[in-house]
Amino acid sequence: MTASPSPFRPSAIALTVTAVAAGALSAAAVSAAPASVQTPLGWFSACGSFLLAVSACAITWWSRSARLLRARLSALAGDVAARDAYIARLTADMARDTAAHTAERARLLSAHTAEVDHLTTARAAEVDRLTAAHAAELDRMTAAQLVTRERLGAELRRAQSGRAAAMAAAANAAGRMQALATGMLADLREMEHKHADEEVLGDLLHLDHRTAQAGRLADSIAVLTGARSGRRWAKPIVMESILRGAMGRIGGYQRVRLHSTSDAAVAGHAAEGVMHALAELLDNAANFSPPTAEVHVYVEEVPAGIIITVEDSGLVMSDVQLRRAEQAVTAETLDLAGLSGTRLGLAVVGRLARKYGLTVSFRP
């Protein structure tokens, strides 16, 4: 950057030149003037020369300063104009960029809005299609379910009707078998009193025992089908008679050992049911014990009633078998179709236990 020229030097030159010229003219004027006025004229000329030199210096100073200021103002005006032009160029660029940005934003917003509208329309159409398809499928499934429900209901009613008819037929057959067994037992007892021959009497006793087992089977069917089971006694029956009556209805009665000194008796209306339940438990114990093993029966009187314990020599029951046995004697509902031959007697025990207030439990 070049330093700005100073007005001091031109002013000094103007001062010197003016002073020299004025001094020369003053000296010439004084020397040419009369002697009487030379002194005053000399002072006056000196003062005038000084004032003239100072004025010339001042004029030169201010003139030079004004020219320098004008040059500076012109340079500043050029700078300002250049900066204004730069600012105008920047403003124009900014306006152009802003317009381009606004246009691009408007284009993107328009494209986004159009895409959103398209997706919304497509989604609404798809929702409508799926809703219609779902409604149609729901109607179809409802109609099919209604048809299936009606068909299953009809089959269930037929099955229930068939089951009721089968149960009624089984109950009727059980009742007839009970009556037949009771009549046969009465005939056999009468024959036993008539015949004294030991061989014939032995055969009659064997038939009596077999008939008693058949009667128990008929009673079991009657219990499971809900028919009337067995006879009703008019008076209480002592426990020993109950136990011996139960023994007389099973095949392995010879292996049963009674351990009872109780004089307790069972009410007449419940005696047949208790005898039947004990017969099923004794038969189960004898069947699941070795052929030569004994089954022991213990009777214990307690304040709440009588505890009868049946101990066999069969295999130890597993946890699963124990749960199944307990379920068989405690289940509220009974599915005859799901009963196996070995669990039929326990189901009978469960029915009788609920009817007469008995409690049956198992232990390993």
DSSP annotation of 120 reads H
Percent of the chain beyond pLDDT 70?
82
Write the CATH number for 264.
Answer: 3.30.565.10
* Integer-rounded Cα radius of gyration of the chain: 69
**Which of 69, 99, 129 delimits the end of a domain?**
99
Read off the pLDDT of residues 329-355 as tens digits, 9 standing for 90 and up: 877 666 665 555 556 788 888 888 888
**What Å distances lie between residue 197 and 16, 175, 201, 208, 309, CA to CA?**
193, 34, 6, 16, 39
Give yes or no for residue 2 having a pLDDT over 70: no
Using an 8 Å Cβ cutoff, are 216 and 279 in contact? yes
Residue 197 lies in a domain: no
Is 223 among the domain residues? no
**216-243 confidence digits (pLDDT tens):** 888 888 888 877 766 777 899 999 999 9
Mark which of 52, 83, 99 sits at the end of a domain.
99
- Give me the domain span that covers residue 329: 232-364
* Residue 138 is assigned to a structural domain of this protein: no
How many residues are recorded in the chain? 364
Residue that is last in its domain, among 50, 80, 99: 99
**CA 330 – CA 137 distance, rounded (Å):** 46
With respect to residue 316, please indicate whether it lies within any of the assigned structural domains. yes
Number of domains in the chain: 2
DSSP 161-220: HHHHHHHHHHHHHHHHHHHHHHHHHHHHHHHHHH---HHHHHHHHHHHHHHHHHHHHHHH
Task: Confirm whether 41 is domain-assigned.
Answer: yes
- State how far the Cα of 221 lies from the Cα of 207, in Å rounded to an integer: 21
Q: Which two tokens stand for residue 222?
A: 């009657």
pLDDT band at 143 (very low <50, low <70, confident <90, very high): very high
In a domain, 315, yes or no: yes
Percent of the chain with pLDDT over 90: 25
Asked if 177 and 221 touch (Cβ cutoff 8 Å), the reply is yes
pLDDT in tens, 21-50: 666 666 666 666 666 666 766 676 677 767
3-state secondary structure 84-102: HHHHHHHHHHHHHHHHHHH
pLDDT of 207 > 80? The answer is yes
**What 8-state DSSP symbol labels residue 295?**
E
The model's confidence at residue 1, banded by pLDDT at 50, 70 and 90, is very low
Decide if 131 is inside a domain. no
Bigger pLDDT: 44 vs 313: 313
In a domain, 22, yes or no: yes
Q: Which two tokens stand for residue 44?
A: 């006056």
Task: Identify the pLDDT of residue 8.
Answer: 64
